[in-house]
Structure 1
Amino acid sequence: MLAQPEWVARLSDEDRRGLTALFWSNINPYGTFRLDMDKRLDLISLPGIPGPRRVADRTARAAH
C-alpha cells in the first residue's frame, strides 16, 4: 500500500523514518541465542571465573 503513488507523495521523510522501525524490528543483527533453561552452564571449569561463594569466604573477609 505504501508503494502506491498517492502515498509516496503524501509521506514526508519524517513519516518514512517513523515507519522504518516497523519494517526492521524483527531483525536481530547479533544472531540468535537459544537458551535451554533446563541445562546449567559449567562455569566452575572456566578459567578466571570464581566459583560460588561460601559462608567461610564471608567470615574470612570479615576477619581482615
Structure 2
Amino acid sequence: MNHFIFFRKSGEVSSNHLEKQELLVLALHLLQNSLVYVNTLMIQRVVTENGLMDRFSKDDYRALNPLIHAHVNPHGKFELDMDKNLGLAI
C-alpha cells in the first residue's frame, strides 16, 4: 500500500534532511489512515445494506481488508464537488 500511495521516486525518501523525511512519512501515514477509514466505512455500508453480517464466517471476516485501492486514481484528474456527499455515515 505504501508504494501505491507514495509513488514518487520509486517509493523512497530521497532527502537527507530529517525534517523533510519526517514530514513525508507523516503525510504517508495520514493518507494511508484516511484511505483505511473511508474504505472501512464503505465496506461496512455494503455489508450492512446487503445483509451479509449473518452470512459471514470467521474466514470471511479475516478476508476483509480495508487497504484496497483499486478505486483510487493516484495519477490524473481529480474532480472535487464540495456539494456532493459520499453517503458514508460516520
- Larger radius of gyration, structure 1 or 2? 1
TM-score, normalised via structure 1 length? 0.29
Greater relative contact order structure (CA < 8 Å, 6+ sep): 2
- The structure with the largest helix share of the pair is 2
TM-score, normalised via structure 2 length? 0.23
